[in-house]
Amino acid sequence: MSQTFQHPRKRKYRSDGTPTWVKRTIDGPGVWASCVKGKEKQTVGELCDLFESLSSELWPIEGRDQTEGHCASEDEDVGDLEAQVAREVAAIKRPRVEKRFVTCQTNTPCVVFISCRPPVDPVKLIVTHAENVRKTGVTRTKYTHRLIPVSGSCIANLPEIQSLCRRTFPSFFAQDDGNDPSQTRKYKIDLRMRNHNTLDRLDIIKEVAKCMPDNYTVDLDGPEVFVLVEVFKSVCGVSILRDYYKLQKFNVMTLANEKNMVDNFKRDAGRVQGKEADDVKLTEAILEST
């Protein structure tokens, strides 16, 4: 009697109850996000969709069929079965594209971390999104509050933090200094610590400051460059960028409200001016009639 072999079903959850599509550890470049309490799962979904959309524009995947998803026109022979089968076979043989974004467990309310894989640059990704929100007033998310990109992550101890900074910062310095590397620049270290009580804030700041060039001076009031340091439990992430205050510390809710308030004010001001002009015309008409 022949028996049919059945492939074992792919497990969706680990033995400890955690989903298999979520990484257990936080590592690599990625994006920290704060969100509405109890909406962490929805936040992950909306951010992954948003990031995939942005990354496809910033870093298009080479070799992807640009006609994929193209709707057939009236002139095309949509009934050609052989051509349809050929397209399906080509789609099956196409190399599988690795996911660019992976959710990492935080086990903390209101906090989400999404790891980014090459060629995605988290800083460029979030700056681009923040600038879009600032221009349009549309966040494209519902539960996300603030986004913090980190160019790399490490274990939260001083030697590892200094090593991470020395690996992460040089590319920014080379691009930012340009043709005048001796020009003095002002910077500020913005440190945020959550669920961590091992290291002292001042010790971390001093260790990060050791990695800054001599032409970068500390200025807490009017910095041009910002060093973001995120310490969460036993993990530390860092990034270095500009326009942090200009983009409202990447708080997309604040950016959207700011834009919408300006637009509403202009619209209301136009209505007031129009009403005043109508009142003037009415007054002139009354005076002429008398």
Q: Which of 115, 120, 111 is nearest to 103 (CA)?
A: 115
| CA 153-228-114 angle, 5° bins | 45
CA distance 26 to 151: 13
| Percentage of residues of the chain with pLDDT beyond 70 | 74
pLDDT band at 74 (very low <50, low <70, confident <90, very high): very low
Q: 244-276 pLDDT, tens per residue? A: 999 999 999 999 999 898 777 666 555 555 555
**Cα angle, residue 113 at apex, residues 190 and 218 outer, rounded to 5°:** 10
Please say whether the beta carbons of 158 and 207 come within 8 A.
yes
Per domain, the residue ranges of the chain are 155-250
Lowest mean pLDDT among 89-98, 120-129, 137-146, 151-160: 89-98
Please list the helix, strand and coil fractions of the chain in percent, rounded to the nearest 5, in that order. 40, 20, 40
H-helix or E-strand spanning residue 185: strand 185-194
pTM value is 0.76
Query: The domain 155-250 belongs to what CATH superfamily?
Result: THUMP superfamily (3.30.2300.10)
